[in-house]
Amino acid sequence: KNQVEQSPQSLIILEGKNCTLQCNYTVSPFSNLRWYKQDTGRGPVSLTIMTFSENTKSNGRYTATLDADTKQSSLHITASQLSDSASYICVVSVVGSNDYKLSFGAGTTVTVRA
Amino acid sequence: GAGVSQSPSNKVTEKGKDVELRCDPISGHTALYWYRQSLGQGLEFLIYFQGNSAPDKSGLPSDRFSAERTGGSVSTLTIQRTQQEDSAVYLCASSLAGRSDEQFFGPGTRLTVL
């Protein structure tokens, strides 16, 4: 069973609308959580990173939240643009000598339509 | 460019053939990672190189998979006697030092085994 679960699997929204993506994780001990954006045919690019003590982090129209108690994170996209169409991947890093090992969610595919 | 590059971008091969995938990390990055991304799945860790240390090969799915990193820079991932289930996108990433550092991904090599 994947230790990082994302929902929804995919969604379609109209340009200008907002949307929220969810990430639930079970990995521990927790080091940090990143959200990546992966455009079609490209490698993932980091959007935000949050450590255990951070609750929210913004990057332009992207805002990530983290609740370490419930092990949930969300990524909110405000005023979506066509260029936001991509796969968004939640990645959790585990503390320890092997903390370069990351647990990846399967991603949420977002399609923004005009 | 200054990013991670991978070649080829696409590779179509016949079952049973060997393939080599190449990764050029960002100059100065000591850590290098290989991942496999199958449709609808999260990224699957394959192998990790850190400086002159012995690589972490714990993610390699079978002994048909191997990787090397020459001179602490370029890396090649070799898949021998390819099988149809090897079809996936193979992503390479590098990071400055490894421990919790941001990983920068290449565009990937899409491998199709017929």
Q: What is the pLDDT of residues B89-102, one digit of tens each?
A: 999 999 988 656 78
Confidence of residue A103 (pLDDT cuts 50, 70, 90): confident
- A40: closest chain B residue by CA: B107
Which of A7, A9, A34 shows the shortest CA–CA distance to A102?
A34
The predicted model gives A57-85 an average pLDDT of: 96
CA distance B48 to B92: 10
- The pLDDT value recorded for residue B99 is 59
Has residue A1 got a pLDDT over 90? Answer: no
In chain A, the N- to C-terminal Cα span, in Å, equals 37
CA distance A94 to A81: 33
CA distance A73 to A41: 26
The predicted model gives B2-18 an average pLDDT of: 95
Calculate how close chain A gets to B107, using CA atoms only, in Å: 4
- The pLDDT value recorded for residue B100 is 66
pLDDT, chain A, mean? 91
- The minimal CB distance from B42 to the residues A2, A32, A46 is found for A2
Which of B2, B4, B1, B18 shows the shortest CA–CA distance to B107?
B4
The predicted model gives B60-70 an average pLDDT of: 94
Note whether A100 contacts B41, CB cutoff 8 Å.
no
**Chains A and B: how many Cβ contacts under 8 Å?**
54
The predicted model gives A75-86 an average pLDDT of: 97
- The pLDDT value recorded for residue B84 is 96
Phi/psi for B17 (5° steps) reads -80, 160
The predicted model gives A2-15 an average pLDDT of: 93
Confidence of residue A100 (pLDDT cuts 50, 70, 90): low
- The pLDDT value recorded for residue A72 is 95
The predicted model gives B53-58 an average pLDDT of: 89
Has residue A12 got a pLDDT over 90? Answer: yes
Note whether B91 contacts A45, CB cutoff 8 Å.
no
Least confident range from A72-76, A87-91, B67-71: namely B67-71
CA distance A69 to B105: 30
- The pLDDT value recorded for residue B102 is 85
Residue B89 CB partners (closer than 8 Å, separation 6+)? B36, B37, B38, B108, B109, B110, B111
Phi/psi for A46 (5° steps) reads -70, 135
Note whether A106 contacts B93, CB cutoff 8 Å.
no
Distances (CA, A) of B42 to A36, A83, A94, B36, B74: 12, 22, 16, 9, 25
Q: Which two tokens stand for residue A37?
A: 């954006």
Cis preceding-peptide flag for A8 (omega within 30 of 0): yes
Note whether A104 contacts B31, CB cutoff 8 Å.
no
Question: Parallel, antiparallel, or unpaired for β B109-113 and B10-13?
Answer: parallel
Q: Name chain A contacts of B99, Cβ cutoff 8 Å.
A: 99-100
Has residue A97 got a pLDDT over 70? Answer: no
Q: B28 in the Ramachandran plot: left (φ > 0), alpha (ψ -120 to 50) or beta?
A: left
